[in-house]
Amino acid sequence: MNPLLQPFDTAPFSKIKNAHFKPAFLKAIEKTRSEIDTIVDNPEPPTFENTIEALDYSGYQLDRVSSVFFNLNSAETNDEIQKIAQEVSPLLSEFSNDITLNEGLFQRVKSVFGERENLKLDKEQRTLLEKRYKSFSRNGANLPPEKKTRLREIDAELAKLKLKFGENVLAETNAYELHLTKETDVQGLPESAKEAASQLAKSKKKDGWIITLQYPSYIPFMKYAKNRELRKKLSLAFGSKGFHGDELDNQENVLKITNLRHERANLLGYKTHAHYVLEERMANSPKRVMDFLTELLEKARPAAQKEFQKLRAFAKEMDGIEDIQKWDGAYYSEKLKQKLFNLDDERLKPYFKLENVINGVFKVAEKLFGLTFKEVSHIDTYHEEVKTFEVYDADQNFVSLFYADFHPRPGKRGGAWMTSFKSQFRKNGKNVRPHVSNVCNFTPSTESKPSLLTFSEVTTLFHEFGHALHGMLANTTYPSLSGTSVYWDFVELPSQVMENWCYEKEALELFAHHYETGGSIPMELVQKIKESATFQEGMQTLRQLSFGLLDMAWHSQDPSDIKNVKEFESKAFEGTQLYPDTPETCMSTAFSHIFQGGYSSGYYSYKWAEVLDADAFAYFKEHGIFNPEIAKKFKDHVLSKGGTENPMALYKRFRGQEPQLEALLERAGLLKAD
């Protein structure tokens, strides 16, 4: 019996075997196809209810199977799962095309869309109708047959290429080890980082220490290791993932993906992939994105250049370094930060025990939105490290199930993300509540210490939890408009705004307690955290802008003449470059956000959403960071509304005005740079 084909509420992980996945996909596709046929063959005239609504509620079983499988492929994968992913992804792409290119279905949707002015639809229904019609027209429903066939071929190929890209990056990350045996090799590393590296070496039956490309291992080494040659070695390994000219090389995949995306956009009548994508974003056009990035670049570049000169001078004064390189950046930045603020992660980490930070983010959510979190042990999980929580509102109504998975493993891709195992929606009078998950790669515990987070990891936890709140507090009728199903440049608002609480005394007092003594974080440290918040903000902004500009370079022009990935990338980076280029490295070949994830032509959205978040938090600060009225407005107009309306309309309803760029520039300390 296949557990994925039985009715289930929480995912039945312990019962699922890899062999269950492909049959479950095939069966669920067949079931969804039958649901679509029922809509198409309905003898009644098309209505909003029997066509648009019916279509949105179709495919429930397929969505559940997909969410379980693809979440596992990100958080707990293996060769077998990756092989299944390569087999089922083209099937899903083909089936998605079967729906959007179904002439009978499109005619029914088109008929309802044509009548929209005469239908008494509320805002959410109107949004759903427009979104559904566009999903057909933007995906080839109006194309002639031969172009529809080509579109199917492109989509199937892209599905495989994106998976292959991600598999290569993961394989490169897992394959690399820097094995060190001399005490001098790990000089400068904090005890916690040394202990973790020693523990890893022991687990592999080796002496000494092992450093990997996983963030909790890589970042402390780059920040603290005194040995410059070893920093260089590790930096080049990290920066050259997918760029070795071997079977894991991603250069060809990058070129194929960008060319296919461009061809696809042209087929659908758009000038470039960016024009296609941005039509459905707040930014709306490549020109507006480029204007936005350029304006920020003009504000940030002078500050970044001043900060870089200070860093160069400091490295020269400290160690006689004449030619500061990428592998020196984190090391000397950390030393300069310590000198200026007498603040480093090792001083802060004892106050950020993982469990305390989790409780802290829960308390912040309770004070803002009246939520309580109850850890439970009866929920089935895919790994023993995954924690599960039931979430309730102030009236003790069940709100959501929350999964939390915080440490790196060989089967888990790098980075941090929010995902869901079940969406929220309302049907037949029942409000179906969501199952939401945060997956991260934080510093694990060692034999002598619990998991103690760096401040950067604390802000990452709050960031991902902001996404989780967007999913948990969803309160919409239709699944495709629920939770984080919003414009891509709006989705980062809830996550980025949550990071602000990490810098506030009132919030830190709730959870920043020393893991051994229980003492609260000293206020002088809180003050230093706030003062250091804008340290090298110009350089950080330039770095983010460089990624956004690289993304736009790949996707806002015809890529068919690009032959050399590295050369193209170097040209895109020209206006944002501070450090000398390293010919051995290439960002594009491991830029998973845009070549595997959904951020193509969308990386700018991190900065776009920062404008929203700075403006939104300024509103909180004005009235108190735990002000119940402001929190309720944010919950009612942003977190619970999903994609039911245009995001600017939702934002203005919360804030009373459009977001102001000045709020971001002021917070980042960039107004002074002029």
Tell whether 403 and 548 lie within a shared domain: no
In a domain, 671, yes or no: no
In a domain, 460, yes or no: yes
* 404 burial type by CB count under 10 A (0-12 exposed, 13-18 middle, 19+ buried): buried
Which residue shows structure tokens 């002496």? 207
What is the number of structural domains in the chain?
Answer: 4
CB neighbours of residue 238 within 10 Å: 22
Tell whether 479 and 556 lie within a shared domain: no
Residue 426, both tokens: 């309302």
Q: Per-residue pLDDT averaged across 31-35, rounded?
A: 98
Tell whether 355 and 472 lie within a shared domain: yes
- Four-residue CA torsion sign, 288, 293, 294, 298: positive
Q: Which of 492, 508, 533 is the last residue in one of the domains?
A: 533
Which of 644, 502, 670 lies closest to 121 in space, CA to CA? 644
CA 28 to chain centre: 28
Residue 13's alpha-carbon distances to 64, 382, 433, 468, in angstroms, are: 12, 5, 19, 21
Confidence of residue 673 (pLDDT cuts 50, 70, 90): very low
Q: Which residues belong to the active site?
A: 464
Q: In this prediction, what percent of the chain has a pLDDT beyond 90?
A: 94
In a domain, 618, yes or no: no
* pLDDT for residue 336: 96
8 Å CB contact between 225 and 188:
yes
Euclidean distance between CA atoms 14 and 380, whole angstroms: 7
Q: Per-residue pLDDT averaged across 414-434, rounded?
A: 96
Euclidean distance between CA atoms 198 and 209, whole angstroms: 4
Euclidean distance between CA atoms 591 and 306, whole angstroms: 28
Tell whether 262 and 282 lie within a shared domain: yes
- Which three-class secondary structure state does DSSP give residue 374? strand
Q: Is the pLDDT of residue 242 over 70?
A: yes
8 Å CB contact between 141 and 134:
no
In a domain, 666, yes or no: no
In a domain, 669, yes or no: no
* pLDDT for residue 531: 87
Q: Which of 100, 126, 142 is the last residue in one of the domains?
A: 142
8 Å CB contact between 452 and 354:
yes
8 Å CB contact between 269 and 644:
no
Which of 587, 656, 575, 583 lies closest to 615 in space, CA to CA? 656
Tell whether 371 and 512 lie within a shared domain: yes
CATH of the domain at 394: 1.10.1370.40
Confidence of residue 346 (pLDDT cuts 50, 70, 90): confident
Tell whether 403 and 499 lie within a shared domain: yes
* pLDDT for residue 586: 98
Tell whether 527 and 545 lie within a shared domain: no
Spatial CB neighbours of 552, under 8 Å, sequence gap ≥ 6: 274, 286, 289, 290, 293, 601, 603, 604
In a domain, 623, yes or no: no
Which residue shows structure tokens 């706030």? 530
Sequence-ordered alpha helix ranges (H) in 370-440: none
Strand 398-405 and strand 435-439: the pairing is parallel
Q: Per-residue pLDDT averaged across 23-41, rounded?
A: 98
Q: Per-residue pLDDT averaged across 396-400, rounded?
A: 98
Which residue shows structure tokens 């934080």? 442
415 vs 549, residue with greater confidence: 549
Tell whether 297 and 394 lie within a shared domain: no
Which of 369, 459, 442 lies closest to 404 in space, CA to CA? 442
Which of 593, 590, 591, 582 lies closest to 176 in space, CA to CA? 590
Residue 318's alpha-carbon distances to 253, 327, 337, 460, 478, in angstroms, are: 43, 16, 13, 31, 60
CB neighbours of residue 1 within 10 Å: 6
* pLDDT for residue 535: 95
* pLDDT for residue 25: 98
CB neighbours of residue 80 within 10 Å: 12
DSSP of 335-355 = HHHHHHHS--HHHHGGG-BHH
In a domain, 507, yes or no: yes
**Mean pLDDT for the chain overall:** 96
Backbone angles phi, psi at 95, to 5 degrees: -70, -40
Q: Per-residue pLDDT averaged across 128-150, rounded?
A: 95
8 Å CB contact between 211 and 199:
no
* 6 burial type by CB count under 10 A (0-12 exposed, 13-18 middle, 19+ buried): exposed
Confidence of residue 672 (pLDDT cuts 50, 70, 90): low
8 Å CB contact between 521 and 356:
no
Tell whether 131 and 205 lie within a shared domain: no
Which of 334, 336, 337 lies closest to 317 in space, CA to CA? 336
Q: Is the pLDDT of residue 674 over 80?
A: no
The CA angle 168-176-464, to the nearest 5 degrees, is: 65
CB neighbours of residue 105 within 10 Å: 21
* 316 burial type by CB count under 10 A (0-12 exposed, 13-18 middle, 19+ buried): middle
DSSP class of residue 520?
Answer: B
The residue count of the chain comes to 674
8 Å CB contact between 401 and 67:
no
Expressed in angstroms, the distance from the first to the final Cα of the chain is 67
8 Å CB contact between 424 and 475:
yes
Euclidean distance between CA atoms 442 and 444, whole angstroms: 6
8 Å CB contact between 286 and 602:
no
DSSP of 139-195 = TTTTS-HHHHHHHHHHHHHHHHHHHHHHHHHHHHHHH--EEE-SGGGGTT--HHHHH
Euclidean distance between CA atoms 321 and 318, whole angstroms: 8
Tell whether 230 and 356 lie within a shared domain: no
Half-sphere exposure of 85 (CA within 13 A, CB side): 24
In a domain, 603, yes or no: no
8 Å CB contact between 389 and 373:
yes
Backbone angles phi, psi at 120, to 5 degrees: -90, 80
Q: Is the pLDDT of residue 348 over 90?
A: yes
* pLDDT for residue 275: 98
Q: Which of 189, 214, 239 is the last residue in one of the domains?
A: 239
Tell whether 129 and 211 lie within a shared domain: no
pLDDT tens sequence across 140-164: 999 999 999 999 999 999 999 999 9
CATH of the domain at 113: 1.20.1050.40
Structural domain that includes position 414? 350-533
Tell whether 524 and 587 lie within a shared domain: no
